[in-house]
Amino acid sequence: MERVARPTSVGESGPSVSFEQLAHFEGPPDEFLDHLLAGQCSLADAERGAILRINPDGAVQPLAVHPRLPRSATTAVWLAMAAESARRLISSDAGTSVLPLREGESDNPNALQRHLLTLPIRSTSAVRGAAAFVIAIDPRAPASELPARRERLELSMQLLSLYEMRLTLDARETDLRHMKVALEVSAAVNAHDRFVSAAMALCNEVASRWHGQRVGLGFLKGRYVVLRAMSHTERFDRRMQLIQDLEAAMEESLDQDVEVLHPPDASAGYVSRATGNFSQRHGPVAVVSVPIRGPSLIGASAGEDSAEPRAVLTIDRPIDDPFDAAQIRTLRLACDLCATRLVDLYQRDRWFGARAAASARRGLATLIGPTHTWAKLLSLLGFAAILFLAFARGHYRAEGSFVIEPTRRQIVSAPFDGYLESVHVKIGDPVQADVTVLADFETAELRLQLASARAEATAERKRAALARRQGKEAEAQIADADAARIDAQIDLLEHTIGQAAIRSATSGVVVVGDLERRLGAPFKTGDLLFEVTSLEDLRAEIAVPEDQISDVRVAQTGQLATASFPGDFLPFVVEHINPVAEVLQDQNVFKVRVRLDESRPWLRPGMAGTGKIDVDRRSYLWIWTRRFVNWVRMKLWI
């Protein structure tokens, strides 16, 4: 028959705490674990048990062992096996592990069989611990004996989760209570618009809630802390020994930027000599000083804390009622919530001279302090750049686009109405004046007209001679006149035929006249055939914007840079300014004709680029802001 132990209470040597009491247990964790482990061992009739914690480095630490091991005892074999089983549970994330435990061989078939049960203790994410139990099973017991005990242990482990949940809720409730107290203190301070009343409200509120005999608030002034308010006291004399000792205790806390407590903790890492003197001379009392941090006077770099200790709040109360850690945390939270308001009121309520001096000090501290190095360096460079732009002088130039054009241009046109017979030159070919034949016009029809005219002239001369032989002088004179008229026509035809061979009156290069595709085409007198330009005598026309034309004068010099050779600058001299503006690309410009002082073999008419005319030397700031200033003056009419 199955033997089940169901005690109502458990303990190491006897009943002490029941499971129902464990469900509402409010004691410390180590005591809870001892009671829980003892209860589980009694519930499952286990001989031994342990609760193990797995540290982040993989080491196994026993939190509770039942029954307790002597201090000088070595680690038991079963406990070592439990630690190894706990490590396997973490690596495999498995359930309860059951291992046979052999502590010695026995020939008795009725000897108890011991088993090591390892139960995982899980968190929300993974296994964080284990509970191990040694259970002895009678071989004559039913097969369900071990699973039944295992089930009891697994169910009872839920008490641990319940206890942890209750601790978490208690901690949150405690934090909420502390937050409520801190917010109420902050609300009492924020209800006032003047520093003195706000400081008195803080001291009185803290004295009431923390049961303080005296609560003082001191602010840093220069290198010392000066008491500004004291609870339940409107006026006080700083020459009093109490006030001087209190300010010394405040300075001690502010210099270390840490809460100073008296009586100090055994592990305290701060100096509390002045606080101890205050406690002995005016008590003995328990004292705590809390620094109040406000915005830094100098500021801070990116990523650094911008607050520094600006004031100190000191509380004292009877020595038999010392401050605990929870009270100090709440007091620190209240001070942090009130810090910004108090510091702001303290600065605003000072007289104008003090505020101006503080502002100047902050500005100078920011300027010469060790923080914001890059910002200061950039500001210094910017200031130096502004000085350079304002006082350094550079070349002010009027600039605009230009086009190269020849000084002389020969237009070769059609000499008479006719048809183009042949072309002897192309664009770019050199031409010699009155020598090179550019093209030929057809002259067949003109030559026929010339032959006919010569025949008519001969006939008229014969008619005049016949009339004279016959004594007809009048008819002879008429015939002579007709012959003269026909001779004039012959001269005209001969001259026209002579002009059929097209030549240029000036030497140069053909720049216009691609007529090979127009052979045989008719032309009228004056139609453009060729354009011949000299490449040795070139000039340029610069289109200067109207806002700079007033600075341009004849005889000024400058340079041209063509788009084809931008690194080769051509010097020039201004020789003429067109007095009438022209519209170029939706902008009013004035054409300025310049004479080139130098030429280049590659320079050709029609090349374009940018030309700059040297006006004078002016400040860089004026040069770079000229257009913007003119635009503002036009818009504002100034």
CATH of the domain at 558: 2.40.30.170
* 337 neighbors 185 (Cβ within 8 angstroms): yes
115 and 189 in a single domain? The answer is no
How do residues 431-490 score in pLDDT, each as one tens digit?
A: 888 888 889 999 888 889 889 988 998 888 898 888 888 888 888 888 889 889 988 998
Residue 221 sits in the same domain as residue 134: no
**98: confidence class by pLDDT, cuts 50, 70, 90:** confident
Are residue 563 and residue 447 in the same domain, yes or no?
Answer: no
Alpha helix (H) residue ranges in 23-157: 29-43, 77-92, 145-156
604 domain-assigned = yes
201 plus 317 within the same structural domain? yes
- Neighbouring-strand partners of residue 175: none
Q: Which residue has better confidence, 254 or 361?
A: 254
> 168 in a domain, yes or no?
no
In a domain, 371, yes or no: no
If asked whether residues 357 and 216 sit together in one domain, one would say yes
The set of residues, in sequence order, having a beta carbon less than 8 Å from that of 439 and lying 6+ positions away, is: 420, 421, 422, 423, 424, 425, 502, 515, 529, 530
Q: What's the pLDDT score for residue 509?
A: 85
Tokens in use for 260?
A: 């100073």
**1 in a structural domain:** no
Q: Are 529 and 512 in contact (CB under 8 A)?
A: no
Find out whether 282 and 307 touch, Cβ atoms under 8 Å: no
**Residues in the chain, overall count:** 638
Give residue 214's pLDDT. Answer: 92
Summary mean pLDDT of the chain: 84
Q: Which residue has the higher pLDDT, 590 or 361?
A: 590
Last residue of a domain, one of 472, 496, 531: 531
Q: What is the pLDDT of residue 14?
A: 42
Question: Average pLDDT of 525-554?
Answer: 89
- CB-CB contact of 115 with 99 (8 Å): yes
**pLDDT class of 3 with cuts at 50, 70, 90:** very low
| Residues 186 and 316 reside in one and the same domain | yes
User: Greater confidence, 283 or 317?
Assistant: 317
Average pLDDT of the residues in 307-335: 91
pTM of the predicted structure, to 2 decimals: 0.48
Q: Assess if residue 4 is contained within a domain.
A: no
Q: Strand (E) positions, 382-429?
A: 393-406, 409-413, 418-423
Assign 181 to helix, strand or coil. helix
Query: Containing H/E element for 359?
Result: helix 352-368
Contact partners, residue 237, CB within 8 Å, separation at least 6 = 243
Q: What is the pLDDT of residues 555-570, one digit of tens each?
A: 999 999 999 999 899 9
**Residue pair 138/112 in contact by the 8 Å Cβ criterion:** yes
* Half-sphere exposure (Cβ direction) of 396: Cα atoms closer than 13 Å: 19
Helix (H) or strand (E) holding 188: helix 158-190
Report if residue 137 sits inside a domain: yes
Both tokens assigned to 530: 């060729």
Share of the chain above pLDDT 70, in %: 92
Sheet-wide strand order for 127-137: 60-66, 46-54, 127-137, 113-122, 97-101
- pLDDT of the residue at 111: 65
Q: How far does the chain reach from its first CA to its final CA, in angstroms?
A: 114
Same-domain pairing of 419 and 436: yes
Packing angle of the helix pair 325-348, 158-190 (nearest 10 deg):
20
296 pLDDT band (50/70/90 cuts)? low
- In a shared domain, residues 122 and 183: no
List the domain range (segments joined by +) for residue 218: 176-365
Question: 123: which 2 tokens?
Answer: 């968190």
d(CA 500, CA 439): 8
Q: Domain total for the chain?
A: 4
- Count of Cβ atoms closer than 10 Å to residue 537 Cβ: 13
Task: Indicate the Cα dihedral angle 505, 506, 507, 513, nearest 10°.
Answer: -70
What was the pLDDT predicted at 330?
Answer: 92
14-23, 50-59, 579-588 — most confident range: 579-588
pLDDT at position 610: 95
388 within some domain: no
Highest mean pLDDT among 14-18, 19-23, 86-90, 625-629: 625-629
Q: Are residues 254 and 287 in the same domain?
A: yes
Choose the weakest-confidence range: 29-33, 120-124, 213-217, 336-340.
Answer: 120-124
DSSP conformational letter for 549: G
Choose the most confident range, by mean pLDDT, from 155-164, 498-507, 618-627: 618-627
Out of 156, 191, 226, pick the residue that ends a domain: 156
Specify whether the CB–CB gap between 75 and 94 falls below 8 A. no
For residue 342, give the CATH number of its domain: 3.30.450.40
- Residue 288 CA: distances (Å) to CA of 41, 185, 270: 47, 17, 12
Higher pLDDT, 375 or 391: 391
Tokens of 609: 């680029």
Three-class SS string for 123-180? CCCCEEEEEEEEEEECCCCCCCHHHHHHHHHHHHCHHHHHHHHHHHHHHHHHHHHHHH
Residue 222: pLDDT band (50, 70, 90) is confident
Q: Which of 79-93, 200-214, 497-511 has the highest mean pLDDT?
A: 200-214
Are the CB atoms for 94 and 118 separated by under 8 Å? no
- Give the pLDDT of residue 124: 64
Residue that has been written with the tokens 């048809």 in this structure: 419
pLDDT value of residue 68: 79
pLDDT bracket for residue 5 (50, 70, 90): very low
pLDDT at 315 over 60: yes
- Note whether 545 and 509 are same-domain residues: no
Give the distance, in angstroms, between the CA of residue 451 and the centroid of all CA atoms in the same chain. Answer: 95
**Closest C-alpha to 162, from 337, 357, 343, 23:** 23
* Chosen domain end from 465, 499, 531: 531
Q: Is 288 helix (H, G, I), strand (E, B) or coil?
A: strand
In a domain, 220, yes or no: yes
Tokens of 31: 């005591």
Give the separation between CA 49 and CA 69, rounded to whole angstroms. 11
Specify whether 93 is located in the same domain as 61.
yes
Is residue 227 domain-shared with residue 328, that is, in the same domain? Answer: yes
